[in-house]
Amino acid sequence: MTTEKNNKIVKPFLRWAGGKTWFTKHIENYIPKDFNDYYEPFVGGGSVFFYLKSKGFIKNKAYLSDSNSDLINTYKILKNYSNDLFEILKTHIDSEDEYYRMRSTGFTDKIEKAAKFIYLNKTSFNGIYRVNRNGEYNVPYGRRNLNILYDFEHLKDISIALKNTYLSTLDLIL
Ligand SMILES: C[S@@+](CC[C@H](N)C(=O)[O-])C[C@H]1O[C@@H](n2cnc3c(N)ncnc32)[C@H](O)[C@@H]1O
C-alpha cells in the first residue's frame, strides 16, 4: 500500500528539531529500488519515512523507533485510534491560559497523552521537546496566533501512512 494520493507527498506533522526534510530531495539517489522491510531508528518527526512511504519506496513493514516514548505513543495512537484522538483535538483552544493548563495536566490515558503532545508541539514557543529533570515539558507558550490549530486531512494521511508500521521505544546506545 502506498500513501501516494495524486502524487501527494505526506509531510511530517510535528515540529521536530533536526528534521531531515531538506535531505529528502537527495535521498532517492541512495535508496535501492527494491528492499524488504524498512528500519528507521531515530525516527523523530519522520520526514524521511513519510517521504519514502509517499513515494512508494516502502512496500512492506516499516520498523520505526525512537527513545522518546511520548513521541512513539503519539504515533501509535494516530495509527490505531485516530478518530478518538481527533474528537479530543477538536476541543482544543489556542490560548496562553489553556496552554499552561494543558502543560501542567498529567494525563494517564494514552489517547489524552497523545492529544496533549500534539497540542504542545503545535502551540509551544518553537516546538522543541524539552523536559526538566522530573521529565516535565517546560517549553513556554508560543503566541503563534494560529488561525487553524489542526489540519485533520493531514493527520488522517499520517494515520494511513503509519498503518503498516511497527512502532517501538528504543534507546540505542551507540
Ligand atoms: C533529528 S531526529 C531524527 C530525524 C528523522 N529521522 C527525520 O527523518 O527527520 C533524532 C531523533 O533521535 C532520537 N534519539 C536521540 N538519541 C537516541 C537514542 N540514544 N536512541 C534512540 N533514539 C534517540 C530523538 O528522540 C530524536 O527524535
Tens of pLDDT, residue by residue over 47-96, are: 999 999 999 999 999 999 999 999 999 999 999 999 999 999 999 999 99
User: What CATH number belongs to 34-169?
Assistant: 1.10.1020.10
Selection from 149, 14, 56, 136 nearest residue 94 by Cα? 149
With cell 522518546, the residue in question is 68
126 three-state secondary structure:
coil
Spacing, Cα 168 to ligand 1 middle (Å): 13
Q: Rg of the Cα trace of the chain? A: 16
Residue 68 Cβ contacting ligand 1 at under 6 Å: yes
| CA distance readout (Å), 37 to 60, 82, 93, 132, 168 | 5, 25, 40, 36, 15
5 Cα–ligand 1 center, Å: 28
Pocket test for ligand 1, best of 10, 67, 70 (most atoms within 8 A of CB): 67
pLDDT tens digits, one per residue of 100-137: 999 999 999 999 999 999 999 999 998 889 999 988 89
Asked whether 19 lines ligand 1 (CB < 6 A), one says yes
